[in-house]
Amino acid sequence: MRYIRLITGLIACWFVLSATGAKRVMTEAERLEQEVKRLQREIKKQPGAMEKHCELVEAQLAAGDTTGASESAEYALKMRETPCLFMQRARIETGRGEIYRAARSSAQAIKAGLRPEEDRMVYAIDSLSHGGVMLCLQRIADEEKQNSAVWRGMGEIAAAKGDSSAALGYYERAFHLGDSTAQSAIALLRVADKDTLTRADSTRAAITRMGLGEKKEVKGKINGLAIRMTIDTTATQSTISGVETRFMLKNGYLTKDDIIDNIIVVIKRLEVEGLEIRDIRLRYVATQESPVVLCPKDLKK
C-alpha cells in the first residue's frame, strides 16, 4: 500500500511539473500577444507617437508575425517617414530575400537621418546587394542635392569600403551643406590621404626599378571589386580578360556603356598598392589567363 501511495505521489508530481512547463511556454506567447495589444491600444490614443509604432513592429516580429509587422510599418510610414521604420522594413525585406528592395529602404532610412554606423545592417545590405544602397543614395543625391544626410551616408559607406578619396568628397559636401559633425571625418581622411600618397610614390619607384621581362603579382581593386593583377614590364598596353569582363558585367561592376566596340573596357577607378587611376582604358583579350595585366607606363603616369 505504501508503494502504491508513493507511485501515485510521483505521478501527481509529474503532472504538476508538466502542467507548469506548458503554462510557462504559453505565458511567454501570451506575454508577447499582450504586449502587441497594449501597443496597439496606445497607438490608438496617440497615433503620432512614432516610437510606439517602432516598438509595435519589433513586438510583432518577436511574436513571429512578419505579415503584421510589415503592415504596421507601412501604415506608420504613411504618417511619417522615420529611420527606425525604414530599417525595420529593410530587415523584413532582407528576411524575404528581397535584397534590392531592402537596399532602397536602407537608403531611405539614411535620407531620413540614419547614420550607417548607428545600424551596421546598412553595410550588410549594401554588400548583399552589390552596392545597392550606395547606388540608391546616389540617385537620391542627384534629385536632392541639398540633403546633407544623404551625402554623409555615402561618405560613411565609401569609408567602410576603403574608398577614402570618394568618402572625403562626400563628407566635404555634407559639411558644406551644414553637417558640422562631418568635420572630424574629413580631418581623419585627409591624414589618410597623405599616407596614400606616400605609398603611391613608393609603388611608382618600385615599378621603375623592375627590369625588362619581369612580372609582379599584386592585389588591387577595379570599381571596388577586389581582384588579382599582374604588372608585366613587356606589356605595351594594359588588358583585361574575357572571363573577368563578363563577371563584372553580370555583377554590376561594369555597364555596357563602359565597353567600346567590344575592344576597349573603360574602368572608372583602378586601385593598386596605393595608386589610384581614374578612367583607365584596358584592352579586352578574351583568352587571357590573368584577370588584369597592367602596363608599367600606365602606372607611372
pLDDT digits (tens, 9 = 90+) for 162-183: 777 788 888 888 888 888 888 8
27 and 157 in a common domain: yes
Strands 215-222 and 239-241: unpaired
Q: Which domain holds residue 284?
A: 213-300
Question: How does residue 198 score in pLDDT terms, banded at 50, 70 and 90?
Answer: low
Helix ranges restricted to H, the chain? 2-45, 50-62, 66-79, 83-95, 99-111, 121-128, 132-143, 148-160, 164-176, 182-209, 242-250, 296-300
What percentage of the chain reaches a pLDDT higher than 70? 82
Residue length of the chain: 301
Mean pLDDT on 109-122: 91
**Using CA atoms, how far apart are residues 93 and 262, in angstroms rounded to an integer?**
38
240 and 124 in a common domain: no
152 and 58 in a common domain: yes
Q: In total, how many domains does the chain have?
A: 2
Residue 53 forms part of a structural domain: yes
**Using CA atoms, how far apart are residues 30 and 75, in angstroms rounded to an integer?**
25
Question: How does residue 125 score in pLDDT terms, banded at 50, 70 and 90?
Answer: very high
Mean pLDDT of the chain: 82
Q: Residue 175 has which C-alpha cell?
A: 559639411
Strand, helix or coil at 26?
helix
**Using CA atoms, how far apart are residues 285 and 264, in angstroms rounded to an integer?**
9
Residue 151: the pLDDT is 92
Q: Residue 130 has which C-alpha cell?
A: 552589390
129 and 223 in a common domain: no
Asked if residue 43 has pLDDT above 70, the reply is yes
In Å, what is the CA distance from 192 to each residue of 182, 186, 189? 16, 10, 5
In 3D space, the residue among 243, 280, 279, 285 whose CA is nearest the CA of residue 262 turns out to be 285
Mean pLDDT on 86-109: 93
27 and 145 in a common domain: yes
Residue 201 forms part of a structural domain: no
Q: Which of 36-45, 189-198, 212-221 has the largest mean confidence?
A: 36-45
**Using CA atoms, how far apart are residues 30 and 26, in angstroms rounded to an integer?**
6
Question: How does residue 32 score in pLDDT terms, banded at 50, 70 and 90?
Answer: confident
CA-based R_g, the chain, Å: 28
Strand, helix or coil at 301?
coil
Residue 29 forms part of a structural domain: yes
Tell me if 221 sits within 8 A of 276, measured CB to CB.
no
Tell me if 150 sits within 8 A of 128, measured CB to CB.
no
Of the candidates 162, 188, 221, which is a domain's last residue? Answer: 162
210 DSSP 8-state letter: P
Lowest mean pLDDT among 88-92, 150-154, 284-288: 284-288
N-term to C-term CA, the chain: 102
Residue 192: the pLDDT is 58
Residue 152: the pLDDT is 92
Residue 226 forms part of a structural domain: yes
- Domain harbouring 238, CATH code: 2.40.70.10
**Using CA atoms, how far apart are residues 55 and 36, in angstroms rounded to an integer?**
9
Asked if residue 60 has pLDDT above 90, the reply is no
**Using CA atoms, how far apart are residues 258 and 268, in angstroms rounded to an integer?**
9
Q: Residue 173 has which C-alpha cell?
A: 559636401
Residue 217: the pLDDT is 82
Residue 151 forms part of a structural domain: yes
Strand partners, 217: 230
Residue 248 forms part of a structural domain: yes
Residue type, 262: N
How distant is the alpha carbon of residue 212 from its chain centre? 42
Residue 99 forms part of a structural domain: yes
Asked if residue 26 has pLDDT above 70, the reply is no
pLDDT in tens, 244-297: 888 888 888 888 888 888 888 988 888 887 677 888 889 998 888 888 998 877
Residue 21: the pLDDT is 52
